[in-house]
Every structure is written in C-alpha cells, then in structure tokens.
Chain A
Amino acid sequence: MPPIPSAALNARILPASTPAELLRNFCIIAHIDHGKSTLADRMLQLTGVVDARAMRAQYLDRMDIERERGITIKSQAVRMPWQVGETAYALNMIDTPGHVDFSYEVSRSLAACEGAVLVVDAAQGIEAQTLANLYMAMENDLTIIPVLNKIDLPAAQPEKFADELANLIGGEPDDCLRVSGKTGEGVLELLDKIVELVPPPVGDPNAPARAMIFDSVYDSYRGVITYVRVIDGQLSPREKIVMMSTRATHELLEIGVSSPEPTPSAGLGVGEVGYLITGVKDVRQSRVGDTVTNFGKPATTALGGYRDPQPMVFSGLYPIDGSDYPALRDALDKLKLNDAALVYEPETSVALGFGFRLGFLGLLHLEICRERLEREFNLDLISTAPNVIYKVTMEDRSTVTVTNPSEFPEGKIAEVSEPVVKATILSPSDFVGTIMEMCQNRRGTLLGMDYLSADRVELRYTLPLGEIIFDFFDQLKSRTRGYASLDYDISGEQVANLVKVDILLQGEQVDAFSAIVHRDKAYAYGVMMTGKLRELIPRQQFEVPIQAAVGSRIIARETIRAMRKDVLAKCYGGDISRKRKLLEKQKEGKKRMKQIGRVEVPQEAFIAALSSDGDSKDTKK
C-alpha cells in the first residue's frame, strides 16, 4: 500500500494553507521518448490522484495530436499528496515539453520548480535533449535527481549509463535511481527521494503577490487557463489581479489546483502551483513568463525572465482549395488563442493564391500547427519551404528584415546576416565522420567534441539555422540509423554570402519558389527546382523555359517542350454529347489553372513541387 496520506494529514496540505516547507515543486526532464509521460502516469497512480480505472497511458498529454505523436506540447502541473514518515507533503509535478522549439516554455516551467527529475532511458543513454534540458535546469539552480528509466527492458544497461550520468552531473553512479515507468518499479522510492532532496520553496507570504505564469492554455469552454507558480504573497478567489507586463487587470473567476482535474481552492500561497481563470479568451493576454500580482496590493518589481516568443522559422500556408481561405483565417484566429508563439499575416502568391505567412518557434512548431489546422479545422493546406529571418543591410546602410524570400531587396546590398544556432549532437562514435561531413556541408563550425563514454560522443557545432530547418534532422537520423540526437539553441547572427534564387516560368517569377541560399548552393537549388517543375508542369502549346536566376543571371534552365497534339482525331459516330462533356471538363480544368504569364499551371503542380518528398513522378502524358 503506497503511502497516501490520511484525511487528517491531508488537512495540513490544503491549497492556500500549505506551509512552504511541506511543498515540493519538481519537473521531469528527458529526451523525447525516454519515458517522462509514462513515469508521470505511475506517479499519478501511486499518489492516488488518478485511480487505475480512469488511468490511460500518458494521462497528461491531452491534445489528440500529442497522444498520437507521443509528445507533450503543453506543459501541465499536477498536485499530488505524498506521505513520508508521519508527514504529508504536497508535490507539484510539472510536465514540461521536451522539444527545443518549446525551449522557452521549458525554461519557464523549470523556473517554477526547485528540483528536476532527469530521466534517461537505460537502453539509450544520454541524448541531445537530455543535455539541453539538463543545462537549462542547472542554470535555474534546480536540484537534479538522476533516474535511469525502463530498467525492465532486456537491453537496459543501467551500469553503463549510470557512469555516463555521474560523469555529467557529478556525484556517484549509485546516486542514480533505477525505475521502470512501465512496471512501477522504483517509483515509490523516487517519490520519497523527491521529498528528501528537493528543497522546499521560499518566499515572503506577507509581500504583495508575485506569481510567474509558466503556461497558458486555451479551453473552448472556460477561456484561457493560466498556470502559475506563486513566489511571494497570496492569490485569492474573486480578487482583481494585474498582469505586470501589460498592466492589464482581470478578475479571478476561479483559482485552484490540478489534481489532475481542475479543483477550485481557497487560493494559492507561497510556493504553490495552480491555475487561474479570468475569462480572457486569448492566451496573448496571459503570457508565459509574465508576473501576476494583486490589484489592491501590487508588487513593484516583476519576476525576471519574461520575453516575447520570437518566431524563428517562417513559411507560407495556403488552402489547397482557394475557397477555404476564410476558413483558414478563422482557424488561425482560433489557434492563436491557444498558442502565444504563433504569428501570421496575410500573404498573396501568384502560384498559390491567398494565404498567410506564419512565424514559428521552429520546425516542430510549424508541423504541429499545420497538423492541427488540418485536423481540427478540416483544412487541406500546402506550405512553402520554411525559411529563417534575414537581416539585409544595403549599401546606404538602411536595413531590411526579410521573412519571405520574395521580399528580399533588389539593388545594392552591403551584407546579409542570418541566425545561427549552437547545436549539440550526440551519437555513437561510429558516426562521427558522417556527422562531421553533414555539418561541414551545411556550413557548420565545430566547437568541440567530447566522449561521454568509450563509444558515445558529444559534438558541438555552430550552424546557420537556415541550414538545419529543411531536412537536417531527417538526414541526421537516417545517416546514423536513428542513433544520433540533436538539440540546438539560437546563439546569434552571422554575416554570410547569401543570395536569392528566383524561379522563372517563361520569364515570369514564381514567388512561392524563391529561396535564399548560400551562394555555393544556389546552383544546386536551381537545378533541383527547375527539374522538378519540368516534370510537373503539363506541356503547353508553346515551349516553356523554366529558369533559375540569381538577380539577372540565369544559373539553371530546363525546357518544357511544346505540346503538339491534343485533338481527338478518331471516328466517333455521332456521340457528340461525350465530346461536349469533355470540353466542359477541359473548361472547368482551365478555370482551376494558375496563370503565370501565358503559362497555365495546375495548382497541383505547384503543390507537388513544394511537397518535400522529392521523387515527383512524371505526370505528363
């Protein structure tokens, strides 16, 4: 029988009146798939907040898409009672997103904790995100509890990876707990360890309230639900609160804790973690990192660390059926309620019609948004190749910020700078050569290389962000048979020899295909894109040149030969109706064609050229 506190003991840990020394705030950090969500499930069960009947795998991953992809996009916090000796404690577990795209959210949820359970798959060892998250936890001065998970697996090598972990964070290999989220083995001990090792929160209960927002989610019934960690003071139901970055005031319609369903409470006190509902409808009004204070007794200084989410990756998003444009606009308006990092503005493309240019935190963010739009709003969408943000300085020293290649300025350019990242790649040492070659090809600079153990290596590179947003991750995975892992963090900007490659159809520029690439890659891009389009665009009654150009210089050229015959020259004995219906179909088809100059291109051709699976089939008759 796990130590779930009795009712009498529980009375000491009621929300709003739990002494700080009985609180433990921790998060679980792990590389994707190392078992964070599963471990959280076991904790929910052992502490009795979710009974076995209601339990389903990855209980906290609520969005369908999370459950399907097995990833956690939105962090959540759960309050769990736990008894050690004769004392009841309230544990707040914060399930953080694991992916780099959401690193800002990760760092905010880390800042809400005093301790971090570092989960490492005992069959895989440390991976790139393990490191990235660990470094972030260390920066936040969290107490780290290393845990080797999945020890039930026959392939588990706890000894080997305990050594790796001890090397990494100091301490003895024996300090590493061994658990199985699957069987529950070791989880009880882990909960005890959390109580023992994670320091209780400290704060001034009498000061004006300061609570940090570490998550903000939109709920279609309740509006925005804001997750906070109280640092000082107290928040109470029905009081007026102030968001310190915007000075916006709201009334607390509800305040409570998740256990794991939202449970209203008498408020939240020092060190406590819970949720607020104010009736606002847009997560932008309740931003991650912001500080909440009392309206009547406001704090003077906000907690540090707030920053606006910075979109780093941009892509045009278009409905495949042009008449879906209003539906896409509505869907984005709704999605943004839920996603403070999403930015977008209308954009029009000759090739693709009306759409939007969206800014994302990273590639996964892009994929998730697109998938949610398609799935939850039932839209068929096409996205242009993602690009990063460029700063172009002209010779007259004026600067232009480019988030869409077709806006790249003409004229005298002094220099172009691009964002660069610090990337960490972990891999079995066998693949070091392959990885170095890949990074070299993508203009990477090696910063350092360390052996984590005899056969596992950590490589640190700076790389242009623009070089890794296309297919770097997929390539890395496929060239290392899935063994390498990658994490990266924006580290600054660099000047680079970048040019815009335009694609011209019979001399007319096709906006959706312009790309900003390094000068050395311009030719390859031109050859690839013109070749693709040649395969995809149906023959016209005249010859159509497809060119790739840098400025006015043509760097690659393909030709679609003229179509010579389309007439049906066959005896068809009086069945004129069939012939007319064929004409009606041809006219319909023509209406759906995009006209680029004199060239008629079915939108499907553009879509196929933009879809990344390169092996386009010859569709010409």
Chain B
Amino acid sequence: MTPPATPATPWLLPEGVAVGASERDLGVYLHVPFCSVRCGYCDFNTYTATELGGGASQASYATTAIGEIALADAALRDAGLPAREVSTVFLGGGTPTLLPAHELARMLAAVADTWGLADGAEVTTEANPDSVTAPDLAALAAAGFTRVSFGMQSAVPEVLATLDRTHDPARVPDVVRWARDAGLAVSLDVIYGTPGESEDQWRRSIDAVLALEPDHISAYALVVEAGTKMAARVRRGELPMPDGDDEATKYELAATVFDAAGYGWYEISNFARRPQDRCRHNIAYWRSHDWWGIGPGAHSHLGGYRWWNVKHPRPYADRIAAGTLPLADGEHLTPAQREDERILLGIRLAEGLDVGAHLVGRLPGLVSDGLLQAAPARDGVALLTLRGRLLADTVVVRLTD
C-alpha cells in the first residue's frame, strides 16, 4: 500500500496494526541527518551544511522533528493503538551531537511529554568522538539520556585515515571517561575489514576497545556501499575490495577476544558485558517490535506495517510544516513476509529463535553443517554457532526457502 504523496488529512494507519500491540514494546528512533564532513565509506542519510545548500537548517531541525512527534501521536490514536509508554529512544545519524545538547534534550522531552517514558527506559545517542565535550555529556545525562554510543571505528591512525575519520584517537579515552563521569553507559562502534587494515592493526583496535572498558561494543564489517567515495576508490583500484575471508578471520578474532574479556555476543555484531548492558532498542528491531522513526528517511514499524519517510530534510520539513506525515512509501507485510522477517531478524540473536514446528526438520542438517548449536536445536531453537554467525545468510535461506 502506498500512501498518497501529500495526504490532505493526517494519514491513517492501516487496520490491524493494533493487533497484539500490547505485547510489543514501543520504541522511538530519532534521526539527525547532519555531519560536519561525510566519511568516504558512509551512505547514511546525512548531509553536511554544503550538501544541504543552506535550506532546511540545523537550527530549526529539533522543532521540525518535534512536529512529526505530534503528528505521530495523532496517527497512533486514530489507529486505536493502546497508549504505551516508550521503552527505548535512540538518536542516530548522522551525528546527533552536532546539534547542541539542549536541542537533543528538547526532542527527548517531546517524546517523554507525548507518550511518557517507561521506568528504566533506555535512551541512547550516537556521538562522534570529536563532537562532544564533558559539559555536553553531562547536559545529556541530566536531560535523561542513559547511554552514548561513540563512533570510534578504529584505534589505528592509518585505518582512521582510510575511513576519512577526523577525530584524534587519543581523544576517545577522554570522551569515554567524561561520559562515565556523567553517569552514561558507554558503547563503542568499531569497523573491521577497512581496505589495507592488517590483522595486527585490527588486534590493536580490539585491545584499545577493551582497554576502555565500555559497557557495550558494536563491531561492524566494513561494507563498500555503492555510490560512496570509497566505492569509487575501490573501482579505480586505489583501495582493495574488502575480502570476505579476511573479515571472517577478524570477526572470529574479535568475538573470541571479546568473549574472553567478558563481552558475550547477544547479536551478531553486538557484544555486552552484562545482560542489562545490551542495547534494548537494537534488540527491539530483531524482535520486530514497534517503533516510530522520526526524521528524514527514518524507517518505522508497527504490527506488520513498515514505512519510511521522505529522504531529504527539505521536503521533510515542508511536509511537517503543512501538517502532514512525511511518508515516502510503505509496505503491509503478508503473513509469509512477516514469517521471513521473524527468521531473518531473530536468527541474529544469541537467545536463539524458536523456529516453529514446521521448520524443526531443517535444524539437524544445519547442525551437522556446523551452523547451529546442537543442544538448543533439539528444543526447536535455532542458535547460531560462531561459524553460523558468519554464514547467517545461508542459514536464513535454508530456513525460509
């Protein structure tokens, strides 16, 4: 189903999204589409001031986003969804911390005022190491943020240079300490498989991450996305294409070392010290919970209905100003698609996926191929082995075809 480009009345959610809603958490994702420079590997929906051409301004962004929160609230009410407090809030980007802390606080307050924050709600913001100061972090904590996720990416200057990262690696321990002092939980994002990165360099990044004793680590394999500057450099032969075997070796190394240091995996790319350190917002994605994505290009999901906003901040702002939800397109999932997604997403979690009686017969083969763990499989639960985590796509195809 495709909503009309400019609905005359606030858009109505399709029927059925309310079914089972009380069993699902509600999360809010707030996208902040600004960066000071664009990193060569990044294809996220983000804009530097020059790319925006001075239109939709960073200064008015929080106000615009708060406008969408109000429209979202109306739409949820119209759809007859039960009032639910928000369990998790995640500010992502882009670089949310490019906006002043009080603007981020204002957006969080709007969420809290509109829906209420559940007790112990998880409130995260992404931050670039060079975009925050100690007072900023203290202000965020005071405003209700509980977590900060720093884009560390690597501890090795040459690797950071290949990634076009501007921050000084020496600053990372500082921002981590400031966040700690402010009472925020800390997560670090790292990337492995950057062109030219040696195994040894990756090992140094792993050690540097552990030395900072974060609560949570996300380790992502570098993807050369089409249309990025890095893709052009690879095409021209200036950089080698990341190699799958190298990435596999690096993942295995990281997963093993993290585990030995007390960071167990709870999702393929995510590691946490204790269960309560896991990113609940993230887990909600893998469990197909409900969330509303605020901001240009943000994706949302409610009870089997997925949609996404217009991508560019300018039409986004225009639509909010006109009092309409800024939808670009959406899809109402068929039961078969929902089932595919349940498997596709759920398989990534360390808690395992109850595959259901109809698929139990496929588990022994996957176990004997070393992709799933044997004991949970006996109970009908698909739980990836280390090898299976790297070959999760194979597992998903074999469970869904």
CB distance from B238 to the nearest CB of A (A): 19
A571 within 8 A of B: yes
A53 within 8 A of B: no
* B83-103 near A? 1/0 per residue, CB < 8 Å: 000000000100000000000
Q: List 22 A-B contacts (CB under 8 A).
A: A541-B369, A541-B371, A564-B244, A564-B249, A564-B387, A564-B391, A565-B390, A566-B393, A568-B221, A570-B222, A571-B269, A573-B29, A573-B31, A573-B44, A574-B29, A576-B341, A577-B299, A577-B331, A580-B340, A583-B340, A583-B344, A590-B397
Pairwise interchain contact B393-A586, C-beta atoms closer than 8 A? yes
Pairwise interchain contact A576-B393, C-beta atoms closer than 8 A? no
A363 CA / B388 CA spacing, docked (Å):
50
Interface residues of B in 182-227 (CB under 8 A from A): 189, 218-223
Pairwise interchain contact A579-B344, C-beta atoms closer than 8 A? yes
A575 within 8 A of B: yes
* B109-129 near A? 1/0 per residue, CB < 8 Å: 000000000000000000000
CB distance from A560 to the nearest CB of B (A): 13
A567 CA / B306 CA spacing, docked (Å):
23
- Given A579-B344, A580-B340, A569 and B391 touching (CB < 8 A)? no
Pairwise interchain contact B44-A587, C-beta atoms closer than 8 A? no
- Given A541-B391, A564-B391, A570 and B247 touching (CB < 8 A)? no
Q: Which of B189, B249, B341, B391 contacts A567 (CB 8 A)?
A: B391
B400 within 8 A of A: yes
CB distance from A77 to the nearest CB of B (A): 60
B401 within 8 A of A: yes
Pairwise interchain contact B220-A569, C-beta atoms closer than 8 A? yes
Chain B interface size range: 35 or more
CB distance from A583 to the nearest CB of B (A): 6
Interface residues of B in 23-39 (CB under 8 A from A): 29, 31
A561 CA / B298 CA spacing, docked (Å):
40
Pairwise interchain contact A580-B344, C-beta atoms closer than 8 A? yes
Smallest Cβ-Cβ distance to B27: which chain A residue: A574
B390 partner residues in chain A, CB cutoff 8 A: 564-567
Q: Which of B219, B244, B298 contacts A565 (CB 8 A)?
A: B244
B291 partner residues in chain A, CB cutoff 8 A: 574
B147 within 8 A of A: no
A563 within 8 A of B: yes
A591 CA / B397 CA spacing, docked (Å):
11
Interface residues of B in 234-256 (CB under 8 A from A): 244-245, 247-249, 251
CB distance from B198 to the nearest CB of A (A): 18
Q: Which of B269, B340, B369 contacts A569 (CB 8 A)?
A: B269
A397 within 8 A of B: no
B392 within 8 A of A: yes
Chain A interface SS verdict (over half)? loop
Seen from chain A, the residues whose Cβ lies within 8 Å of a Cβ on chain B are 541-542, 561, 563-571, 573-577, 579-580, 583-584, 586-587, 590-591, 621
Q: Which of B220, B223, B331, B394 contacts A566 (CB 8 A)?
A: B394
Closest 8 CB pairs of A and B: A564-B248, A574-B299, A567-B392, A565-B248, A566-B393, A565-B390, A569-B221, A569-B269
* B278-305 near A? 1/0 per residue, CB < 8 Å: 0000000100000101000011110000
A565 CA / B246 CA spacing, docked (Å):
9
Q: Which of B244, B247, B345, B389 contacts A576 (CB 8 A)?
A: B345
B340 partner residues in chain A, CB cutoff 8 A: 580, 583-584
Pairwise interchain contact B393-A567, C-beta atoms closer than 8 A? yes
Q: Of A561, A568, A573, A574, which is in contact with the most chain B CB atoms at under 10 Å from its CB?
A: A574
Pairwise interchain contact A565-B247, C-beta atoms closer than 8 A? yes
Q: Which of A541, A565, A584 contacts B251 (CB 8 A)?
A: A565
A575 CA / B293 CA spacing, docked (Å):
11
A576 CA / B343 CA spacing, docked (Å):
12
Pairwise interchain contact B401-A570, C-beta atoms closer than 8 A? no
Smallest Cβ-Cβ distance to A540: which chain B residue: B394
Q: Which of A574, A577, A580, A591 contacts B285 (CB 8 A)?
A: A574
Pairwise interchain contact A583-B251, C-beta atoms closer than 8 A? no
Pairwise interchain contact A587-B92, C-beta atoms closer than 8 A? no
A567 CA / B245 CA spacing, docked (Å):
12
A563 CA / B340 CA spacing, docked (Å):
24
- Given A566-B392, A567-B390, A576 and B401 touching (CB < 8 A)? no
A567 CA / B397 CA spacing, docked (Å):
11
Q: Of A563, A569, A584, A591, which is in contact with the most chain B CB atoms at under 10 Å from its CB?
A: A569
A563 partner residues in chain B, CB cutoff 8 A: 244, 391
B371 partner residues in chain A, CB cutoff 8 A: 541
A570 partner residues in chain B, CB cutoff 8 A: 220-223, 269
- Given A571-B189, A587-B400, A565 and B341 touching (CB < 8 A)? no
B133 partner residues in chain A, CB cutoff 8 A: none
A579 partner residues in chain B, CB cutoff 8 A: 344
A571 partner residues in chain B, CB cutoff 8 A: 189, 218, 220, 269
B268 within 8 A of A: yes
Pairwise interchain contact A542-B299, C-beta atoms closer than 8 A? no
A566 CA / B391 CA spacing, docked (Å):
5
B219 partner residues in chain A, CB cutoff 8 A: 569
B344 partner residues in chain A, CB cutoff 8 A: 576, 579-580, 583
A436 CA / B329 CA spacing, docked (Å):
71
